[in-house]
Amino acid sequence: MMKAAQSRPWSDLPPELLGLVLKRLPSLADRVRLRAVCHPWHSNSRLRTLPLPFPWLTLPDGTLLGIPSGEIHHISLPEGACCQGSIDNWLFLMHNHGVCYLMNPFSKTRLQLPKLAKVWKREIYDPEPRINPIFYNLVVPFPLDSSPCSLLAALIMDDGNWGTLCISQSPIVTDSFRDDKHPAKLLCSVAFFDGKLYGLGGFDQLFIFELDKDLGISSMECIIDSMGELGGIPQSLSEEKAYMIRRYLVECGDRLLMVKRWIHPIARSTSDDFFEHNRTVALGVFEADLGTDPAGWRTVNDLDGHALFLGQHSSKSLRAGECSGYQEDCIYFMCDYSWPKHSANPLRDAGVYNIRNQTFMPLMSGTAAVPPHHAGQWRPTWFFPPEAV
């Protein structure tokens, strides 16, 4: 009789084979499970550069959704903290009494921030405003893990459609202004590119902010004033319908991009959530051509092998080949434009857009969906977990 096959221990798994397994696990949770059963994980994961796992989505109730697995993750945070955004693997947390900070939920490291709501209130005219902040767009010129004392810019948008820009170096405010007092009207997104701070206007203008040695805003210049001949709606859309447009400014490799997102407001329901049935119907990508005089926008038909994650609170581009499960030249988006009083399912208007063939795909399969009722006031944002924990 043939001898029964004997299983070999995980410790005998060849390192090169283990490395291939790790590179094909887009889920951080799956990597943790592999670590639990395979002790050589530590040595192998340190020797090899692992691709980034797929990002998570924060949900209104304070949990995080793993993609594409659909797993719900619970993380331990300080009592009373509410997530209002993120930068990479740092959550932007705010308390009812206005205290703000960035926190890495894995290392528990905190970076204290100014009281941004207080900065916003100081900049508005009305001492008892009827308007309120609705989202915070936070950007830094360098990764926080390598530069924790980095300059930080926060664009605070309110429900009066005005933006307040706050410049800080943790935890001190170095300058701030409100765009209804300056030529930069209706700022909707900010980004650092090549060490400089840029702002996107609500009518497709691009502004550059010069900072002095004390990190105050010394000048602000409009370098692109319109879309020119590129204005209008995509040919695939009907001119007889109305659309809501969202604009995002994001650094992508060696390019500064504006992404325009056309959203069709499908028949309003009886609820007071105006955005309940909205759907994204088109996306357009434009590069800021800063080498011409005057500078202008030009259409982009690829992302140079990158994947782009859109978010009102923070957008991020990553080279797809360095990440697990990402598709190159694709834009990942979700529903993050509902007002804070509505607990929105971020998947109700989510998807993946291939910029090359102009097709939409679902962000997740129908079998992996967010539970329908999520109460809470966390804002939906992308969260990028580390390669391993």
Q: pLDDT tens across 126-170, in order?
A: 655 677 888 899 999 988 887 777 799 999 988 777 888 999 987
Which H/E stretch holds residue 291?
Answer: none
What value does the mean pLDDT take over residues 169-191?
Answer: 79
What was the pLDDT predicted at 94?
Answer: 92
pLDDT at 37 over 80: no
What value does the mean pLDDT take over residues 351-365?
Answer: 93
Lowest mean pLDDT among 1-10, 109-118, 241-250, 362-371: 1-10
What was the pLDDT predicted at 47?
Answer: 46
What was the pLDDT predicted at 186?
Answer: 80
Which H/E stretch holds residue 355?
Answer: none
* CA–CA gap between residue 121 and residue 329 (Å, rounded): 40
Looking at residue 337, the DSSP 8-state letter turns out to be -
State the pLDDT confidence band at 260, using cuts at 50, 70 and 90.
very high
What was the pLDDT predicted at 178?
Answer: 81
pLDDT at 222 over 90: yes
Count H helices and E strands in the chain, helices first.
4, 25
**What are the beta bridge partners of residue 224?**
206
Q: What average pLDDT does the chain have?
A: 83
State the pLDDT confidence band at 22, using cuts at 50, 70 and 90.
low
Spatial strand order of the sheet with 382-383 comes to 72-73, 64-66, 56-58, 382-383
pLDDT at 358 over 90: yes
State the pLDDT confidence band at 32, using cuts at 50, 70 and 90.
low
What was the pLDDT predicted at 264?
Answer: 92
pLDDT at 184 over 60: no
What value does the mean pLDDT take over residues 50-76?
Answer: 85
What was the pLDDT predicted at 9?
Answer: 61
State the pLDDT confidence band at 1, using cuts at 50, 70 and 90.
very low
What value does the mean pLDDT take over residues 365-372?
Answer: 56
What was the pLDDT predicted at 21?
Answer: 66
H runs (alpha helix) in 41-127 = 41-47, 116-123
Q: Which two tokens stand for residue 171?
A: 């935890």
Which SS3 state, helix, strand or coil, does residue 383 take? strand
Q: At what angle do helices 15-23 and 28-37 cross, to 10 degrees?
A: 160
CA atoms within a 13 Å half-sphere pointing along the CA-CB vector of 367: 2
Looking at residue 124, the DSSP 8-state letter turns out to be S
More confident residue, 75 or 283: 283
* CA–CA gap between residue 287 and residue 184 (Å, rounded): 20
What was the pLDDT predicted at 267?
Answer: 64
State the pLDDT confidence band at 5, using cuts at 50, 70 and 90.
low
3-state helix, strand, coil in the chain (%, to 5): 10, 35, 50
Percent of the chain with pLDDT over 90: 43
**Which region, left, alpha or beta, applies to residue 163 given φ > 0 means left and ψ of -120 to 50 means alpha?**
beta
More confident residue, 133 or 234: 234
Lowest mean pLDDT among 34-43, 62-71, 290-299, 323-332: 34-43
Of 51, 85, 55, residue with least CA distance to 68: 55
Q: What's the CA dihedral at 377, 378, 381, 385 to 10 degrees?
A: -170
What was the pLDDT predicted at 352?
Answer: 96
What value does the mean pLDDT take over residues 170-196?
Answer: 82
Lowest mean pLDDT among 201-205, 275-279, 366-370: 366-370
**R_g (Cα) of the chain, nearest Å:** 22
Of 303, 313, 302, residue with least CA distance to 346: 313
More confident residue, 96 or 11: 96
More confident residue, 14 or 381: 381
The string of DSSP letters for 162-173 reads: -EEEEEEETTEE
